[in-house]
């Protein structure tokens, strides 16, 4: 289980050097500096009593806050790559699952002594989980472990620019003064270079997909029906080993329940860097206006951003 606590494949090469700060949003360059400074805390101690090397950061935690697609996960993975020795990277949900599976004491034992615990998408929705994680992190910090975390996408967050740092610091209570908070502004990077819209490859492109390992073709409606029969925690199994997914006859999603399940699948597909080849309606138009205006707006916008990126990857690959 601990072996899976590494950055997703997509972030295997994420480094500070290949993060391109947007000059229009100075907070991005500042974020790179903040990560660099934080990582300098692991650097070798240079100089003696009178000539000290780079000053270790005073706080053992770094919290990267920002809207979607500004590179929070990229920077957190870059930090993980800079950490020496034993270190872990996972989503908040993965860590709570770890505690669930091992029990609290064994989870502490497993994680303690690590140089870094990186927690992507710190969730604040469930007070019990938040308390559990705060307690766990408190113990690990006592032992010298440092923490990197990013904000998640709260379901009720309208607008892309909402910062969650105040909520985060309030909820983790006893730990709040241990975190340096970095706010990253800017636009969705996935939309900076890629085409603005999802690519519809068309029926012939879907039909031309090879019948090979790593490639699947599904009827969109049947896929959505199937998702209802699988717990979202198991969607990761659906994308295992997958490189290219064909989706035939994409249609607008009938309701919020189906839409949220599809969002969960999109996240797994995106983590696994699957290329999408689709026919029917453009995949960035499957969420209705009512959905986009509702409480889950930010989740849908993020899924759209990810779908745009994955269909563009599909167009490049085919
Ligand atoms: N400034 C940047 N320079 C280079 N690559 C970037 C930059 N910002 C983001 N990326 C890349 O864009 C993609 C999206 O970024 P990332 O997933 O880190 O954003 P995020 O803030 O975590 O978004 P989300 O809210 O979707 O979790 C990744 O592939 C990442 O490597
Ligand atoms: Mg992220």
What pLDDT is attached to residue 50?
59
Index of the ligand 1 atom closest to the CA of residue 68: 25
Ordered DSSP codes for 159-203: STT---HHHHHHHTGGGGGGEEEEEE----THHHHS-SS-----H
What pLDDT is attached to residue 162?
60
- The Å distance, Cα 276 to ligand 2 centre, comes to 20
Nearest ligand for residue 305 CA: 1
- The Å distance, Cα 11 to ligand 2 centre, comes to 10
Phi, psi (degrees; rounded to nearest 5) at 293 = -90, -5
Are 145 and 178 in contact, with CB atoms under 8 Å apart?
A: no
- The Å distance, Cα 75 to ligand 1 centre, comes to 8
Six token digits for residue 118: 């990186």
What pLDDT is attached to residue 154?
55
- Is any atom of ligand 1 closer than 6 Å to the C-beta of 145? no
Helix axes 297-317, 256-271, angle to 10 degrees: 50
Q: Which among 18, 64, 73 is the best mutation to test ligand 1's pocket, defined by most ligand atoms within 8 Å of the CB?
A: 73
- The Å distance, Cα 97 to ligand 1 centre, comes to 25
Beta carbons within 10 angstroms of residue 241's beta carbon = 9
Q: What's the CA gap between 135 and 175, in Å, rounded?
A: 9
- Is any atom of ligand 1 closer than 6 Å to the C-beta of 192? no
Q: What's the CA gap between 216 and 211, in Å, rounded?
A: 8
Global pTM value: 0.70
Can you list the positions of beta strands (E) in 67-131?
87-91, 116-122
User: How does DSSP classify residue 45?
Assistant: P
- Is any atom of ligand 1 closer than 6 Å to the C-beta of 68? yes
List, run by run, the mean pLDDT of 10-residue segments along the chain (318 residues): 86 95 93 96 68 64 90 97 97 93 96 97 87 94 95 56 76 86 86 73 95 95 96 92 96 96 96 95 93 88 91 87
């Amino acid at each position: 289980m601990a072996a899976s606590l590494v950055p997703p494949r997509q972030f295997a090469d994420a480094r500070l050097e290949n993060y391109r700060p947007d000059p229009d949003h100075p907070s991005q360059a500042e974020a790179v500096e903040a990560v660099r400074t934080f990582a300098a805390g692991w650097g070798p101690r240079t100089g003696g009593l009178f000539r000290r090397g780079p000053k270790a950061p005073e706080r053992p935690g770094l919290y990267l806050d920002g809207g979607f697609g500004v590179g929070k996960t990229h920077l957190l993975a870059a930090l993980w790559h800079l950490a020496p020795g034993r270190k872990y990277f996972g989503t908040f949900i993965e860590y709570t699952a770890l505690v669930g599976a091992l029990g609290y004491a064994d989870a502490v034992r497993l994680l303690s002594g690590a140089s870094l615990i990186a927690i992507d998408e710190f969730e604040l929705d469930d007070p019990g989980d938040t308390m559990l994680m705060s307690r766990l992190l408190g113990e690990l910090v006592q032992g010298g472990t440092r923490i990197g975390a990013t904000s998640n996408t709260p379901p009720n967050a309208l607008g892309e620019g909402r910062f969650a740092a105040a909520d985060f610091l309030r909820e983790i209570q006893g730990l709040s003064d241990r975190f340096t908070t970095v706010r990253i502004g800017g636009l969705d990077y996935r939309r900076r270079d890629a085409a603005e819209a999802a690519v519809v490859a068309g029926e012939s492109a879907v039909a031309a997909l090879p019948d090979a390992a790593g490639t699947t073709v599904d009827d969109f409606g049947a896929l959505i029906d199937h998702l209802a029969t699988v717990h979202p925690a198991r969607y990761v199994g659906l994308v295992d080993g997958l490189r290219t997914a064909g989706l035939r006859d994409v249609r607008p999603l009938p309701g919020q329940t189906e839409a949220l399940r599809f969002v969960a699948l999109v996240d797994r597909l995106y983590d696994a860097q699957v290329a999408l080849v689709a026919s029917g309606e453009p995949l960035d138009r499957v969420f209705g206006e009512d959905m986009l205006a509702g409480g889950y707006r930010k989740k849908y916008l993020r899924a759209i951003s990810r779908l745009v990126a994955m269909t563009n990857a599909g167009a490049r690959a085919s």
